[in-house]
C-alpha cells in the first residue's frame, strides 16, 4: 500500500535531490509524532543520491499483512512537557499532541494522509456552507460520548458543548494563542442536540483548518463554563477520546489509559495506555530508545542515521512546518526598493542553509512551507522562479539588481538574530551568502532569548533578521498573516510588507471554500511573492522519528496535526 508521503516525494522528485538527510529535530520543541495508518516498505530511492530516499516513510511491515492486536503500553520520550494543562491556552505540544489528542476530539481534524485538508471528527460530515460562506452548519455524530467521569458521566457530546468550547477559546482573548482565529465568528448557535451553526462576519475558508489545528478541541460545556481557569488539574481533563488522563506531572511525565467504558468509534484505539517522559537531551533520547526505555523518539538526523541499518528500529521522516526566514523591515528606505528585496531573495542560498545547519535535512521552499504539501507550487514550477535557479545565475542577477538600485558595490547592514533554535547558524549562512553579492552584514545577536528577538521583530527594531516562524499548514496561516498589509489580518507581517495585489489575492483565497479553486489562487500568490518578495522564505527542516519495530501503524506527520494519534497505532508483542 502506498502512503501519502510516498506519493508526496514521488511528486516532488526534483526537490528530492535538494533534500538531504540530517539536521536538527529539536525545533522549538514543537515536533509531534502522529500515528496513523501507514504501511509500505517501498523505499523509492531511485536516483536520489543526496539522501532523498531516506525521506520515504518506512513501516516495519506492510499493514495489509497484519491485523492490529490490542494491548501494550506505548512509551514516548520527548519534550519539553509544559505545565499549562489547559488545551485552549497552552502553546506547548506534548500537552496537546499527546494528552489531549489521546483524550479528546476535534470538531474537524486534519486528514491523516492529506494533513492539509480537514475532515470530520466529532462532526458527522463536512459542514453545510450557506449564505455565501458566512454560515456553517455542522451535524454532530450522535454516538459521540464523553468519558464516564464527572461532570459529564458519559453523556452524549452535544452542540452545546461545541458552542461552549469555541466561545471559550474566543473569550480567552490574549490568554489563548488561537483566539484570534475566531474573531470572524459572529455567533455560535446550538440548533438542536446534534446541530450547531456558526455565523461568520465574513467568509473564511480556513476556519475549518483553524478548528483542526492541534489545540482547539471540544470540551464539556460544564467545564468550559468555569471560565479562563477551567482546566488546571488532571481531573479537569475530560474528553470524548479513546483514552483517559492517568497522570500529569508538569515538566516530567504524562500518562493515559484506555477509557474503561469503551470508545465510541469501534475497532480503533488498540493500546492499553501510553506515556511520555520528559527528556529534551538528544543523546539521552538515543540512549533511551537503544535501552528499550521508550518506543519512539524524535532526534536530529545525524543521530537518527545510526539506526538506519538496525533491524530493531525504523525511521519516519516528515518536513517540519517551521520556516527559516530572512525577515526584511520594509519601513526602512532601502527596502522600499523592490530591486533590493529581489536581490536578497536571490542571494540567499537555500540549499546551503540546510546543508550547513541541518546536515542537509531540509526542503527548500518559497512563501508556503514545503510541509504544506497540498498548497505548495509543484517543483518544476518552483525551479523556474527567481531564487531557485543555478547559484551562479542567481548571484549574477542579484548583483545586477543591486547595481540597478544604486548599490553596485553592495552596502553595509546589520542583521538581528538569536542564539536559539539554530537561528544564529542560519544567519551565519545568510551573512556568507549576501557577502557574495556585496552586502556586508554585521550580526546583532540578541543572545539566547528568542523572545527578545520576537519582541524586537514585532516592534520593528531591526533592519534584517535571520529568524524562523512556525504556523499551521493552511494558506491563511502561511500567507495571509505574514503578508497582508491590514494589521488585523497580517498579524505576523512584522516587516510591514504591503502590496495591494497580494492583499487582494490573499482576501480572495481566504474566502474561497473550494479547494481546487483556492489552490490556484494560492499558487498565484506564491509566484508573485517570488518576484516581489516580502520576507525571504528559505524552506523547512525535516523531522526524524526513530521507532521501535514493535510500534505498528505509525506515520510521522509534518504538522502539529489535529487528528487522533491514538486511534490506529498498535504494538506487536
Partner 1 sequence: MQKIILRRLVLSIPTLLIVSFLIFGILRLDPDAAVAARLGEGYTPEAAEQLKEELGLNNNIATEYVKWLGNLLRGDWGTSMYSYRPVLSEVMPKVGVTLELALVAVFFAVVIGVPIGVVSAIRQDSWLDYVLRGFSVLGLSVPGFVVATFVLAFLAIQFKWIPPTQYAAPWEDPVKNFQQFALAGLILSLATAASVMRYTRTMMLDVLRQDYIRTAWAKGLRERVVITRHALKNVLLPVITVIGLTMATLVGGTVIFETLFTMNGVGRLLIRGVYERDYPLVQGITLLFAIAVVLINLIVDISYSLLDPRARG
Write out the residues near partner 1 by the rule CB under 8 A: 77, 80, 82-85, 91, 174, 177, 229, 232, 249-253, 277-281, 283-284, 286-288, 290-293, 449, 451-452, 454-455, 458-459, 491-492
Q: What angle do CA 467, 469, 472 make, to 5 degrees?
A: 170
Nearest approach in angstroms of CB 203 to partner 1 is 25
Q: Are 481 and 451 in contact (CB under 8 A)?
A: no
Q: Are 484 and 529 in contact (CB under 8 A)?
A: no
The Cα 173–Cα 169 span in angstroms is 7
The Cα 375–Cα 29 span in angstroms is 25
- Residues with Cβ < 8 Å from 384, sequence gap 6 or more? none
User: With respect to partner 1, which residue has the nearer C-beta, 89 or 350?
Assistant: 89
The Cα 194–Cα 34 span in angstroms is 29
Nearest approach in angstroms of CB 94 to partner 1 is 12
**Residue whose C-alpha cell reads 489552490 in the numeric block:** 519
Q: Are 383 and 19 in contact (CB under 8 A)?
A: no
What does the DSSP 8-state code read for residue 52?
A: G
Burial string for 467-503 (b: 16+ CB within 10 Å, else e) reads: bbbbbbbbbbbbbbbbbbbeeebbebbbbbbbbeebb
User: With respect to partner 1, which residue has the nearer C-beta, 440 or 455?
Assistant: 455
Nearest approach in angstroms of CB 303 to partner 1 is 11
User: With respect to partner 1, which residue has the nearer C-beta, 3 or 279?
Assistant: 279
- From the list 190, 184, 187, the residue with the least C-alpha distance to 198 is 187
Nearest approach in angstroms of CB 432 to partner 1 is 29
User: With respect to partner 1, which residue has the nearer C-beta, 291 or 573?
Assistant: 291
Nearest approach in angstroms of CB 297 to partner 1 is 12
User: With respect to partner 1, which residue has the nearer C-beta, 80 or 133?
Assistant: 80
The Cα 20–Cα 486 span in angstroms is 38
**Residue whose C-alpha cell reads 502506498 in the numeric block:** 2
User: With respect to partner 1, which residue has the nearer C-beta, 252 or 268?
Assistant: 252
**Residue whose C-alpha cell reads 496513523 in the numeric block:** 36
User: With respect to partner 1, which residue has the nearer C-beta, 199 or 550?
Assistant: 550
Using DSSP, state whether 224 is helix, strand or coil: helix
Joined grid coordinates for residue 203 = 467568509
Beta bridge partners of 316: 545
Nearest approach in angstroms of CB 177 to partner 1 is 6
Nearest approach in angstroms of CB 254 to partner 1 is 13
User: With respect to partner 1, which residue has the nearer C-beta, 130 or 312?
Assistant: 312
Nearest approach in angstroms of CB 280 to partner 1 is 7
Amino acid at each position: 500500500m502506498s502512503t501519502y508521503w510516498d506519493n508526496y516525494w514521488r511528486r516532488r522528485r526534483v526537490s528530492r535531490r535538494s533534500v538531504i538527510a540530517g539536521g536538527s529535530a529539536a525545533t522549538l520543541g514543537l515536533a509531534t509524532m502522529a500515528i496513523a495508518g501507514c504501511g509500505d516498505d517501498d523505499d523509492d530511492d531511485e536516483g536520489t543520491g543526496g539522501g532523498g530516499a531516506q525521506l520515504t516513510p518506512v513501516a516495519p511491515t506492510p499493514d495489509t499483512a497484519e491485523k492490529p492486536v490490542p494491548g501494550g503500553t506505548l512509551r514516548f520520550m520527548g519534550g519539553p512537557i509544559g505545565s499549562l494543562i489547559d488545551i485552549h491556552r497552552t502553546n506547548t505540544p506534548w500537552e496537546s499532541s499527546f494528552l489531549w489528542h489521546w483524550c479528546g476530539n476535534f470538531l474537524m481534524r486534519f486528514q491523516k494522509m492529506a494533513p492539509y485538508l480537514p475532515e470530520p471528527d466529532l462532526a458527522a460530515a463536512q459542514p453545510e456552507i450557506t449564505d455565501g460562506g458566512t454560515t456553517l452548519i455542522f451535524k454532530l455524530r450522535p454516538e459521540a460520548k464523553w468519558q464516564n467521569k464527572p461532570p459529564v458521566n458519559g453523556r452524549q457530546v452535544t452542540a452545546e458543548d461545541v458552542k461552549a468550547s469555541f466561545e471559550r477559546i474566543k473569550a480567552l482573548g490574549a490568554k489563548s494563542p488561537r483566539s484570534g482565529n475566531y474573531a470572524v465568528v459572529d455567533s455560535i448557535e446550538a440548533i438542536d442536540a446534534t446541530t450547531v451553526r456558526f455565523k461568520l462576519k465574513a467568509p473564511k475558508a480556513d476556519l475549518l483548518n483553524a478548528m483542526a489545528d492541534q489545540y482547539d478541541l471540544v470540551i464539556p460545556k460544564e467545564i468550559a463554563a468555569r471560565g479562563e481557569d477551567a482546566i488546571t488539574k488532571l481531573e479537569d481533563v475530560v474528553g470524548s477520546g479513546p483514552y483517559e488522563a492517568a497522570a500529569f506531572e508538569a515538566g516530567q511525565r504524562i500518562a493515559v489509559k484506555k477509557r474503561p467504558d469503551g470508545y465510541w468509534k469501534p475497532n480503533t484505539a488498540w493500546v492499553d495506555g501510553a506515556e511520555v517522559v520528559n527528556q529534551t537531551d538528544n543523546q539521552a533520547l538515543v540512549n533511551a530508545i537503544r535501552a528499550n526505555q521508550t518506543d519512539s523518539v524524535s532526534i536530529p538526523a545525524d543521530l537518527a542515521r545510526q539506526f538506519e541499518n538496525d533491524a530493531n528500529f525504523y525511521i519516519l521522516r516528515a518536513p517540519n512546518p517551521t520556516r527559516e526566514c530572512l525577515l526584511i523591515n520594509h519601513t526602512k528606505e532601502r527596502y522600499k526598493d523592490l530591486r533590493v528585496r529581489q536581490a536578497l531573495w536571490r542571494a540567499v542560498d537555500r540549499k546551503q542553509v540546510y546543508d550547513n545547519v541541518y546536515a542537509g535535512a531540509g526542503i527548500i521552499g518559497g512563501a508556503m512551507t514545503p510541509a504544506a504539501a497540498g498548497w505548495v507550487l509543484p517543483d518544476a514550477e518552483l525551479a523556474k522562479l527567481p531564487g531557485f535557479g543555478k547559484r551562479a545565475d542567481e548571484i549574477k542577477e542579484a548583483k545586477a539588481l543591486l547595481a540597478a538600485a544604486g548599490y553596485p558595490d553592495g552596502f553595509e547592514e546589520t542583521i538581528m538574530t538569536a542564539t536559539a533554535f539554530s537561528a544564529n547558524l542560519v544567519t551565519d549562512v545568510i551573512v556568507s551568502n549576501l557577502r557574495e553579492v556585496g552586502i556586508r552584514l554585521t550580526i546583532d545577536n540578541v543572545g539566547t532569548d528568542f523572545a527578545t528577538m520576537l519582541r524586537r521583530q514585532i516592534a520593528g527594531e531591526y533592519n534584517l533578521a535571520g529568524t524562523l516562524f512556525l504556523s499551521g499548514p493552511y494558506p491563511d496561516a502561511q500567507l495571509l498573516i505574514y503578508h497582508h498589509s491590514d494589521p488585523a489580518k497580517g498579524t505576523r507581517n512584522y516587516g510591514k510588507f504591503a502590496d495591494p495585489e497580494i492583499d487582494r489575492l490573499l482576501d480572495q483565497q481566504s474566502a474561497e471554500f473550494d479547494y481546487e479553486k483556492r489552490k490556484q489562487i494560492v499558487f498565484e500568490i506564491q509566484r508573485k511573492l517570488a518576484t516581489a518578495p516580502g520576507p525571504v522564505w528559505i524552506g523547512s527542516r525535516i523531522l526524524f522519528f526513530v521507532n521501535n519495530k514493535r510500534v505498528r501503524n505509525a506515520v510521522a506527520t509534518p504538522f502539529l496535526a489535529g487528528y487522533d494519534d491514538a486511534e490506529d497505532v498498535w504494538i506487536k508483542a
